[in-house]
Structure 1
Amino acid sequence: MTNPTFLLGGDLPVRRIGLGTGGLVGAGYWGPRGSRAEARALLRAAVERGVTLIDTADNYGPGLAEELVAEALHPYGERLVVATKGGVVRTGPDEWHVAGRPQELRRMCEASLRRLRLERIDLYQLHRFDPAVPVAEQLGALAELRAEGKIRHIGLDTVTVEQLLLAVESVPVAAVQNPFNLRDRSSADVLALCEARGIAFLPYYPLGSGALTRAGATAVAEVAGAHGATRGQVALAWLLHRSPVLCPTPGTGSPVHLAENLDAAALSLSDGDLALLDGVGAG
């Protein structure tokens, strides 16, 4: 079985296991992690393995992850979908604030276009709603950028059901990013709405920040042992089985972990496996 696909926004086929770029920058999403050459090599290896969705953000680095994507992959192939985010300003390791005024969102989007060497961003995601700015103004800014041809599809990051329902009344929403994994299913209601609307759900922390790959996750280890797989592969395969709209984009800076993550698409879980894994997290 190959990496299954999802039709993002109704017109962009992407393989459901993509690559997040947070693992290419330093701790707290600040500065470099390794060499630029190593990061470029990993991005190219991902595409060579069939990855068609690269998920990044302007505040990773900040700016560094987008630069690396362009250095490694531009000119982009026709099948490659590049997604990025704006609306958050990073000021230090694990330090950031939201910035959702229309002029700020426009400035961020246009800066991402330059760094990524693109005329249009396939998926531009509002990284957070700014509570100090009317939602209509934030969504309106994205709608204007879309009308100008600077972004193709609009996505939202970290939203409630109520916020998503409000948003889809104003703009077409192609994707949502919320936390979701075997142990954290707090966004199950958002996932259900995405399923009903045909919206891609890109779960962040798909491996539970590493918790699902370490010793102690008994059910995960049991299923992994039965299939000759790793715990991480089981966690990713569960997401693929859980819903057809789930498109995990695990980040890594390791070629070995990249290959491991992508090989999870070949793991076929039985009903018994799924029942066992469903008991891992709270509903």
Structure 2
Amino acid sequence: MISITQLSRVGLGTSRAASLGSRMAPAAFNAFLKLATEQNVNLIDTSDFYGSGDAERLIGRGLRATGYPFFVVTKAGLPRVHAPGWLSPLNQIAKKIRQRAGARNNYSAAYLVGSVQRSNQRLGVETADALLLHEPTWDALAGTDAWDGLAQIRQQGLARYTGVSTDDYRVVEAGIARGQVQLVQTPVGWGPSGHAIAALCRAHGIPVIANQVLQPYPALQPAFARHMAAIQRMDGLADISLPQLLIAAALAEHKADAVLFGTSNPAHLAHNIAALRYVASLPPALPAITQLLS
């Protein structure tokens, strides 16, 4: 059983793995698990919102078929539809209709407990590794019993760890104060900012998982292309790509303990995992690289 102190420094995101138009076949996903395991990756991130539960089903079937050890983070709170398994293709259509109708996030204790129970069924486990509130804001949590819900989830053995996936500092701070946050997921961008949540978590010994690390890629690509040769001549950075730079920088700057990325391409998966070899060399080069890309 993997603990939060044993998480790999990169992890697999599954936000599109079971979505309409980008759904991975079970055999292809199982091959991903094999490749990740061979590269010592043991972290998967998912949500009951991803593919309206089909991402969790894909993961559960894959882990049962392969037997590979992974720490699976799932999330709850965003509006979703959960028809029985044989009707699951209709879930995503119904979810989009609900979103357009203005369905709201739900962080009530009863909703969260019910959500993780269904997530565990889809994942094929009695106890989730981790259950996080999905994108809660300070205002969205006001007046809810969300923290009590997370406490109940651990007390009932429905998840080993609980936490939040958010960019709202106040939410992280409140969850830590209530003792219900043992793991945090948050967006991490490029540049010198973005240390506040990481610093708060580090002060309390709470691991941080970064998402959206590759989001700056389109904006930075033109400048990186112009200065790629100069960057790759820096000590220890030979052949580094922009995706690898973004992944390695989040770790080198201590903005996160692990970085998520999603892909359905095995070559991209291996390439992104290889970003880890640049982490140790990046700190002295980052000021110059930041200036080149600004």
TM exceeds 0.5? yes
Q: In the TM superposition, what is the alpha-carbon distance from 1:274 to its structure 2 partner?
A: 1.8
Q: Tell me, which stretches of 5 or more residues in structure 2 are unaligned?
A: 81-94
1:262 and 2:268 correspond: no
The 5 A counterparts of 1:1-283 are 8=4, 12-26=5-19, 30=20, 32-74=22-64, 79-90=69-80, 91-92=95-96, 95=99, 97-129=104-136, 131=139, 134=142, 137-183=145-191, 185=193, 187-208=194-215, 210-211=217-218, 214-217=221-224, 221=228, 222-224=230-232, 226=234, 227-243=238-254, 245-267=256-278, 268-279=280-291
Q: Which has the higher helix share?
A: 2
TM-score by length of 2: 0.80
Name the CA distance, whole Å, in 2 between partners of 1:202 and 1:172: 17
Give the secondary structure class of the aligned counterpart of 1:177.
strand
Give the RMSD, CA atoms, in angstroms: 3.0
Q: In the TM superposition, what is the alpha-carbon distance from 1:159 to its structure 2 partner?
A: 4.0
Name the CA distance, whole Å, in 2 between partners of 1:59 and 1:216: 35
Give the secondary structure class of the aligned counterpart of 1:44.
helix
Give the secondary structure class of the aligned counterpart of 1:203.
strand
Q: In the TM superposition, what is the alpha-carbon distance from 1:133 to its structure 2 partner?
A: 5.2
Decide whether the 8 Å contact of 1:212 with 1:232 is kept in 2. no
Decide whether the 8 Å contact of 1:238 with 1:269 is kept in 2. no
Which has the higher mean CA deviation after the structures are superposed, 229-238 or 208-217?
208-217
Q: Tell me, which stretches of 5 or more residues in structure 1 are unaligned?
A: 1-5
Q: In the TM superposition, what is the alpha-carbon distance from 1:134 to its structure 2 partner?
A: 4.0
TM-score by length of 1: 0.83
Deviations 1:244-278 (A, max 9, x none): 74310111111011000111111242444122244
Name the CA distance, whole Å, in 2 between partners of 1:108 and 1:219: 48
Name the CA distance, whole Å, in 2 between partners of 1:218 and 1:279: 14
Q: In the TM superposition, what is the alpha-carbon distance from 1:74 to its structure 2 partner?
A: 2.2
Name the CA distance, whole Å, in 1 between partners of 2:246 and 2:227: 7
Name the CA distance, whole Å, in 1 between partners of 2:270 and 2:286: 23
Runs (4+) off by over 6 Å = none
Give the secondary structure class of the aligned counterpart of 1:33.
coil
Distance 1:253 1:143, change over 3 A: same
Decide whether the 8 Å contact of 2:248 with 2:275 is kept in 1. yes
Larger radius of gyration: 2
Decide whether the 8 Å contact of 1:127 with 1:158 is kept in 2. yes
Name the CA distance, whole Å, in 2 between partners of 1:75 and 1:261: 25
> Partner residue of 1:3?
none
Paired AA for residue 275 in structure 1: P
Which has the higher mean CA deviation after the structures are superposed, 144-153 or 76-85?
76-85
Kindly tell me the number of residue pairs found equivalent between the two proteins.
270
Identity %: 26
Decide whether the 8 Å contact of 1:18 with 1:249 is kept in 2. yes
Name the CA distance, whole Å, in 2 between partners of 1:212 and 1:94: 32
Q: In the TM superposition, what is the alpha-carbon distance from 1:157 to its structure 2 partner?
A: 1.2
Q: In the TM superposition, what is the alpha-carbon distance from 1:48 to its structure 2 partner?
A: 2.8
Paired AA for residue 286 in structure 2: L
